[in-house]
Amino acid sequence: MLDVTGGFAALLGLKFDEVSGDRVVVRWQVRPELQQPYGILHGGVHCSVVETVASVGGALWLGDRGRVVGVSNQTDFLRAVRDGELTGVGTPVHRGRSQQLWQVEVTDAEGRLVSRGQVRLQNLTTGQG
């Protein structure tokens, strides 16, 4: 079973509300240590959450057939966030034999879209890489 609660996810403070190969939902709190010098959430955090959500969903979908690794992350920042709780929801756009594409939307407590990204994952089947 995939452990999604430790490591980098724990450092970001991610709380997983829903975890499956079809949908992943996370929440986290904006904290000072996640902000850039102007007091807004660092864009790298958005990218990291998008990649984490997509990777967890992709790995669960692939299951025992192998592992997934991110090969592309395109994340757009739409609204500056200084505080509060954010929610990320990831869903698959395409799941193929060798690659997957996942989309992740991040919203604030008022339901406003603050960032959106997509991650292309390479499926490494047993015996590869």
pLDDT digits (tens, 9 = 90+) for 44-73: 999 999 999 999 999 999 999 999 999 999
Whole-model pTM over 0.85: yes
HEC readout, 5-61: CCHHHHHHCCEEEEECCCCEEEEEECCHHHECCCCCECHHHHHHHHHHHHHHHHHHH
pLDDT at 5: 77
pLDDT at 1: 58
Query: Is the pLDDT reported for residue 129 higher than 60?
Result: no
Sheet-wide strand order for 85-95: 15-19, 24-29, 85-95, 99-107, 113-125, 66-77
Over range 100-114, report the average pLDDT. Answer: 98
Q: Where are the domains of the chain?
A: 7-125
pLDDT digits (tens, 9 = 90+) for 23-34: 999 999 999 999
**CATH fold label, 7-125:** Thiol Ester Dehydrase; Chain A (3.10.129)
